[in-house]
Copies of this chain bind each other. A is one copy, B any other.
């Protein structure tokens, strides 16, 4: 059970950080709205109930930053670090995020 939860978490973070890494540098109003809605809906449909409700609280405290690619990616790194801290995991260095997540598409 813990293994399944961890694998799902890794898959979800990979998708989320890659979405943010490919988010436009200068998003339109529609793109901003789409990203923000996507993140809130993600927090509602996320299959681990305990994780979802904790993440919803984090979103209230740290709403998605959608003004630019850098803002969005740094926000994603920060909120992942909040989860890391809660779970007693290592804090990730957000200066290295742009190198780590690429898509190649």
Contacts and interface: CB of A to CB of B under 8 A. Distances in A.
Q: How many copies does the complex hold?
A: 2
Nearest to A23: B45
Classify the secondary structure of A's interface with B: helix
A57 interface: no
Interface string A37-58: 1100110111111110000000
Interface of A: 1-5, 7-8, 10-12, 14-15, 18-19, 21-23, 34-35, 37-38, 41-42, 44-51, 102-105
Contact of A34 (B11, B45, B104): B45
B41 A2 contact: no
A103 B19 contact: no
B15 A104 contact: no
A48 B14 contact: no
A103 B37 contact: no
Contact of A4 (B19, B42, B103): B103
A104 B44 contact: no
Contacts of A8: 14-15, 18, 103
